Amino acid sequence: MKKIAFLFPGQGSQNVGMGLDFYEEFVFVKELFEMASEICKMNISELCFKGPMEDLTMTVNLQPSVTAVNLSCFLAIEKEGIVPAFSAGHSLGEYSALCAAKAVSNEDTFKLVFERGKLMHRESLKHKGAMHAIVGLTIEDINQIISGAKNNGIVSVANHNTKTQIVITGEPEAVQMVSVVASEKGAKAIPLKVSGAWHSELIKGAEIEFKDYLATVRFGKTVTPVIHNVSADVSSDPSEIRVLVGKQLCSPVKWFDSINRLIDEQVEVFAEIGPGTVLTGLTKKILPKDYPFKAYNINSIKNFENFIKEVK
């Protein structure tokens, strides 16, 4: 059987109406949403199915909402007996990956993403930040430009998404300066609609508190390997997993390296589990042209049924 990787999306993949068909189809999904709503003290089904988008996109609401949809789609797949060779999640999505691998319980996963969202939201109000996607330069090019812009303020790499798609994060003036230089070198710079400078020093104030919170949550060994954003590597040790999750808040997301790790492991089936198609798009850009693969988006009942039919 071909090796399957489960990929879980994060912020930026949300849409109003996400997860509704799974909610209507499966009792266990309704129960998951009810549990998440109770833990987070918000109506997650209302946010996901009715919005408005402005409320859904607020990071404190978005993190448990996207996680609820990710895990709903995953639970439906799990009940069909499909087990991945590897899992990975993009930023927030890493929590869904760890939950799917049984390193963290469903309940603790929602507690973690809700706390993470609260702390990130708080820091974004304290420190104005910006994020831009730079398309057309390599990570080496971007790091060189950032080195020359350090005197203009805080700026760093947030996401290394593909070979030549890199998201930068930090103080607005410094981010803008890097974008201008990158544009002069032939790249395209795209400002992102975000409320904070995620994965940057500007939210460092959340890191210590979040690490303290992580210490109160039980982490277990993963039953299937999870590739971590911070290291682009796997770990089955609960203590190390806790440390990696703690570092993830302010460290770059090594998505390009993570997908290359899956290529090294000869994974041929990539299933994006949750709303949107962002990760599938990135994966297709990373995979070599002659690489044999199939990609699936499990974001609707129809797509779910098609996936089950093809991989079983």
Catalytic residues: 91, 199
Q: How far apart are CA 79 and CA 26, in angstroms?
A: 11
Nearest to 114 by CA among 88, 92, 87, 90: 92
Per the CB < 8 A criterion, the answer to whether 210 and 97 are in contact is no
Q: How far apart are CA 213 and CA 205, in angstroms?
A: 13
Q: How far apart are CA 165 and CA 151, in angstroms?
A: 24
Per the CB < 8 A criterion, the answer to whether 168 and 158 are in contact is yes
Tell me the CA distances in angstroms from 281 to 70, 79, 286, 295, 297, one per residue in order: 17, 27, 9, 9, 10
List of residues 6+ apart from 281 with CB closer than 8 A:
none
The helix/strand/coil state of 247 is helix
- For 163-263, list the strands marked E by DSSP: 165-170, 188-191, 226-227
Per the CB < 8 A criterion, the answer to whether 125 and 75 are in contact is no
